[in-house]
Structure 1
Amino acid sequence: MDDDAVLNRIGDLVDEEHRLRDHISSGAELGDEDRARLDEIERQLDQCWDLLRQRRAREEYGADPDGATARPEDTVEHYRQ
Protein backbone atom coordinates (compact mmCIF):
# COMPACT_ATOMS: atom_id res chain seq x y z
CA MET A 1 0.00 0.00 0.00
CA ASP A 2 1.59 3.30 -1.07
CA ASP A 3 1.24 6.64 0.72
CA ASP A 4 -1.74 7.70 -1.40
CA ALA A 5 -3.58 4.47 -0.64
CA VAL A 6 -2.90 4.87 3.09
CA LEU A 7 -4.08 8.49 2.98
CA ASN A 8 -7.22 7.47 1.09
CA ARG A 9 -7.94 4.78 3.69
CA ILE A 10 -7.42 7.32 6.48
CA GLY A 11 -9.83 9.70 4.72
CA ASP A 12 -12.48 7.00 4.40
CA LEU A 13 -12.15 6.05 8.05
CA VAL A 14 -12.28 9.68 9.19
CA ASP A 15 -15.42 10.27 7.11
CA GLU A 16 -17.09 7.28 8.73
CA GLU A 17 -15.94 8.35 12.18
CA HIS A 18 -17.34 11.85 11.65
CA ARG A 19 -20.65 10.44 10.50
CA LEU A 20 -20.94 8.35 13.66
CA ARG A 21 -19.83 11.21 15.91
CA ASP A 22 -22.26 13.61 14.22
CA HIS A 23 -24.99 11.11 15.01
CA ILE A 24 -23.97 11.27 18.68
CA SER A 25 -23.75 15.08 18.73
CA SER A 26 -27.27 15.32 17.31
CA GLY A 27 -28.49 13.76 20.54
CA ALA A 28 -28.99 10.27 19.20
CA GLU A 29 -27.49 7.26 20.92
CA LEU A 30 -25.32 4.75 19.15
CA GLY A 31 -26.31 1.12 19.24
CA ASP A 32 -23.88 -1.58 20.28
CA GLU A 33 -22.91 -2.26 16.67
CA ASP A 34 -22.14 1.40 15.97
CA ARG A 35 -20.14 1.78 19.20
CA ALA A 36 -18.11 -1.31 18.30
CA ARG A 37 -17.57 0.09 14.80
CA LEU A 38 -16.38 3.43 16.22
CA ASP A 39 -13.87 1.59 18.42
CA GLU A 40 -12.70 -0.42 15.40
CA ILE A 41 -12.33 2.75 13.32
CA GLU A 42 -10.15 4.33 16.01
CA ARG A 43 -7.89 1.27 16.10
CA GLN A 44 -7.65 1.13 12.31
CA LEU A 45 -6.80 4.83 12.17
CA ASP A 46 -3.98 4.28 14.67
CA GLN A 47 -2.63 1.50 12.45
CA CYS A 48 -2.88 3.59 9.29
CA TRP A 49 -1.17 6.61 10.82
CA ASP A 50 1.57 4.35 12.18
CA LEU A 51 2.06 2.76 8.76
CA LEU A 52 2.24 6.17 7.09
CA ARG A 53 4.84 7.37 9.63
CA GLN A 54 6.89 4.22 9.04
CA ARG A 55 6.75 4.67 5.26
CA ARG A 56 7.80 8.31 5.46
CA ALA A 57 10.63 7.58 7.89
CA ARG A 58 11.95 4.77 5.71
CA GLU A 59 11.84 7.02 2.67
CA GLU A 60 13.55 9.88 4.53
CA TYR A 61 16.44 7.62 5.49
CA GLY A 62 16.86 6.01 2.08
CA ALA A 63 15.08 2.74 2.77
CA ASP A 64 12.28 1.27 0.67
CA PRO A 65 8.96 2.59 2.03
CA ASP A 66 7.26 -0.58 0.76
CA GLY A 67 9.17 -2.45 3.44
CA ALA A 68 6.94 -0.87 6.09
CA THR A 69 4.19 -3.08 7.43
CA ALA A 70 1.08 -2.46 9.47
CA ARG A 71 1.75 -3.31 13.09
CA PRO A 72 -0.79 -5.17 15.22
CA GLU A 73 -3.51 -3.14 16.91
CA ASP A 74 -2.26 -4.03 20.38
CA THR A 75 1.13 -2.55 19.49
CA VAL A 76 -0.05 0.80 18.11
CA GLU A 77 -2.73 1.20 20.77
CA HIS A 78 -0.12 1.48 23.51
CA TYR A 79 2.01 4.22 21.98
CA ARG A 80 2.32 7.41 23.95
CA GLN A 81 0.73 10.36 22.20
Structure 2
Amino acid sequence: MKNIFVTVIIYTLTHCPYCTKAKKLLNQKNISYEEIIVDNYNERQRLELQHKASGQRTLPQIFINSKHIGGCDALYELEKAGKLDELVK
Protein backbone atom coordinates (compact mmCIF):
# COMPACT_ATOMS: atom_id res chain seq x y z
CA MET A 1 0.00 0.00 0.00
CA LYS A 2 1.31 3.42 -0.95
CA ASN A 3 2.10 5.88 1.85
CA ILE A 4 -0.24 8.85 1.48
CA PHE A 5 2.44 11.12 2.91
CA VAL A 6 4.94 10.64 0.06
CA THR A 7 5.41 13.87 -1.85
CA VAL A 8 6.76 13.85 -5.39
CA ILE A 9 7.40 17.22 -7.02
CA ILE A 10 8.60 17.57 -10.60
CA TYR A 11 9.71 20.90 -12.06
CA THR A 12 9.12 21.00 -15.81
CA LEU A 13 9.01 23.06 -18.97
CA THR A 14 5.97 22.77 -21.22
CA HIS A 15 7.76 21.58 -24.38
CA CYS A 16 10.48 19.46 -22.76
CA PRO A 17 10.74 15.87 -24.04
CA TYR A 18 12.66 14.71 -20.95
CA CYS A 19 9.96 16.19 -18.71
CA THR A 20 7.33 14.30 -20.69
CA LYS A 21 9.33 11.07 -20.43
CA ALA A 22 9.73 11.43 -16.65
CA LYS A 23 6.01 12.15 -16.17
CA LYS A 24 5.18 9.15 -18.36
CA LEU A 25 7.10 6.81 -16.04
CA LEU A 26 5.46 8.30 -12.95
CA ASN A 27 2.03 7.95 -14.56
CA GLN A 28 2.70 4.35 -15.67
CA LYS A 29 3.60 3.47 -12.09
CA ASN A 30 0.56 5.34 -10.70
CA ILE A 31 2.82 7.63 -8.67
CA SER A 32 1.04 10.86 -7.82
CA TYR A 33 3.08 14.01 -8.25
CA GLU A 34 2.82 17.75 -8.20
CA GLU A 35 4.02 19.35 -11.42
CA ILE A 36 5.46 22.84 -11.24
CA ILE A 37 5.81 24.36 -14.71
CA VAL A 38 8.66 26.87 -14.73
CA ASP A 39 8.10 28.39 -18.19
CA ASN A 40 7.49 31.83 -16.69
CA TYR A 41 10.02 31.73 -13.86
CA ASN A 42 12.12 34.86 -13.56
CA GLU A 43 15.89 34.78 -13.05
CA ARG A 44 15.64 34.80 -9.24
CA GLN A 45 13.18 31.89 -9.25
CA ARG A 46 15.38 29.90 -11.64
CA LEU A 47 18.41 30.47 -9.39
CA GLU A 48 16.41 29.30 -6.36
CA LEU A 49 15.41 26.13 -8.20
CA GLN A 50 19.01 25.58 -9.31
CA HIS A 51 20.13 25.92 -5.67
CA LYS A 52 17.51 23.38 -4.49
CA ALA A 53 18.59 21.05 -7.31
CA SER A 54 22.21 20.92 -6.13
CA GLY A 55 23.33 23.27 -8.89
CA GLN A 56 21.73 21.36 -11.75
CA ARG A 57 20.23 23.60 -14.42
CA THR A 58 18.47 21.06 -16.60
CA LEU A 59 14.84 20.03 -16.43
CA PRO A 60 13.01 18.14 -15.21
CA GLN A 61 14.16 18.26 -11.60
CA ILE A 62 12.49 15.70 -9.37
CA PHE A 63 12.15 15.67 -5.60
CA ILE A 64 10.74 12.82 -3.49
CA ASN A 65 9.92 13.78 0.09
CA SER A 66 12.03 16.93 -0.32
CA LYS A 67 15.08 14.86 -1.37
CA HIS A 68 16.53 15.87 -4.71
CA ILE A 69 16.50 12.83 -7.00
CA GLY A 70 17.80 14.50 -10.17
CA GLY A 71 16.40 14.55 -13.66
CA CYS A 72 14.77 12.12 -16.05
CA ASP A 73 17.82 9.85 -16.38
CA ALA A 74 18.17 9.58 -12.59
CA LEU A 75 14.50 8.66 -12.28
CA TYR A 76 14.87 5.88 -14.86
CA GLU A 77 18.07 4.66 -13.16
CA LEU A 78 16.16 4.34 -9.88
CA GLU A 79 13.46 2.37 -11.68
CA LYS A 80 15.99 0.11 -13.41
CA ALA A 81 17.71 -0.58 -10.07
CA GLY A 82 14.37 -1.39 -8.44
CA LYS A 83 14.69 1.52 -5.99
CA LEU A 84 11.92 3.83 -7.19
CA ASP A 85 9.10 1.78 -5.67
CA GLU A 86 10.90 1.77 -2.33
CA LEU A 87 11.21 5.56 -2.34
CA VAL A 88 7.51 6.11 -2.94
CA LYS A 89 6.12 3.48 -0.56
TM-score in same-fold range (> 0.5): no
Which one has more relative contact order, counting CA pairs under 8 Å at least 6 apart?
Answer: 2
TM-score (norm 2): 0.32
Task: Select the structure that is richer in strand.
Answer: 2
Larger radius of gyration: 1
Task: Select the structure that is richer in helix.
Answer: 1
